[in-house]
Amino acid sequence: MRLLAVVAGEYGRRKAQNVREHGPQHWTVHEWTAPAHFPIVIDDPLDFLPSQLPAADLILALGEHPGIAELLPDIAKMTGAKSLIAPVDRVEWLPKGLMNQLRGWLRQVGVVSVFPKPFCSLTENSYSLRGQRVEYADRLISEFARYFGKPRVTVAVDEASKTIAAVQVERDATCGVVRYIAQNIIGRKIDDAEYEAGMLHHHYPCLASMGIDPDYNDTLLHVSGDLSRDAFSSAVKPYREVQYFRPDGYVEVKT
């Protein structure tokens, strides 16, 4: 699969690098750095594009300015791409109204698009969470989501010490935070895995917004952190002992 990452700063470059380093060997990941500044009104998107771009099957729209969205349909036509992922990790970079416009523009040129909010909510058949969840069907996006999106891990446990001995990252967040947690949670108690994963997520430079998002009534940073924490909590659940507490004064009645 041929991917083109449209970037505009450290946010996109870090994600593109993680995909390049940890994606399948048969993927080819190119980058194009979009302009940093745009006028209020873009008369002709082609004025901001190079004369040519590498051929691509899937576009990762990782820009940091709403003006970049207006370039994406022409980028798709130039590259031949038929699928596009435009994550919403900061609403100011892709407001909802512009997102809906972009979806329509891309549909007109035959491109399937998804807008996971946050990026780490993407799975092989859906994106976003709770009441915002959207199902989709696209082979190329699903192929990407096999490896990057909603965190999924398995663990090996040292039974004697009840600690995490090894972690297999089955699906990393595109920014690499799950791999970071996996590397640093080794040796931690399995009963503390959920808490430790949450703390490690906050130590990693997640670039999701810290402002309250109206769709979730929470920050996207916290939503992202919950996804990572839940992945590790689920992974250690089979190894945790269930403890039952008997209230003071409880008397078991035999029948």
Taking only the tens place, the pLDDT of each residue in 87-137 is 999 999 999 999 999 999 999 999 999 999 999 999 999 999 999 999 999
Q: Please give the share of the chain, as a percent, with pLDDT higher than 90.
A: 81
The overall average pLDDT reported for the chain is 92
Q: How far apart are CA 238 and CA 147, in angstroms?
A: 24
pLDDT band at 46 (very low <50, low <70, confident <90, very high): confident
Token pair listed for 83: 């699928």
- The confidence score (pLDDT) of residue 9 equals 86
Residue type, 249: G
**Range in 63-67, 110-114, 180-184 the model is least confident about:** 63-67
Q: Mean pLDDT, to the nearest integer, of 153-163?
A: 95
Class of CATH domain 2-145: alpha beta
Q: Would residue 174 be called left, alpha or beta, if left means φ above 0 and alpha means ψ between -120 and 50 degrees?
A: alpha
Residues facing 112 on adjacent strands: 83
Determine the pLDDT at residue 244. 47
Residue 249, both tokens: 């004064």
DSSP class of residue 14?
H
Q: CA-CA distance, 53 to 76, in Å (whole number)?
A: 10
Contact call for residues 89 and 144 (beta carbons, < 8 A): no
pLDDT, residue 252, reads 58
% of the chain with per-residue pLDDT over 70: 94
pLDDT of residue 189: 95
For residue 193, what are its two tokens? Answer: 């895995």
Determine if the peptide bond prior to 54 is cis (ω within 30°). Answer: no
66-80 average pLDDT score? 94
Give the burial string for 112-130 (b: 16+ CB within 10 Å, else e).
bbbbbbbbbbbbbebbbbe
pLDDT at position 37 over 80: no
pLDDT band at residue 180 using 50, 70 and 90 as cut-offs: very high
Q: How far apart are CA 234 and CA 85, in angstroms?
A: 27
Q: Which position has the higher pLDDT, 206 or 138?
A: 138
Q: Is the pTM of this model over 0.85?
A: yes
The residues of the chain that CATH labels 3.40.50.720 are 2-145
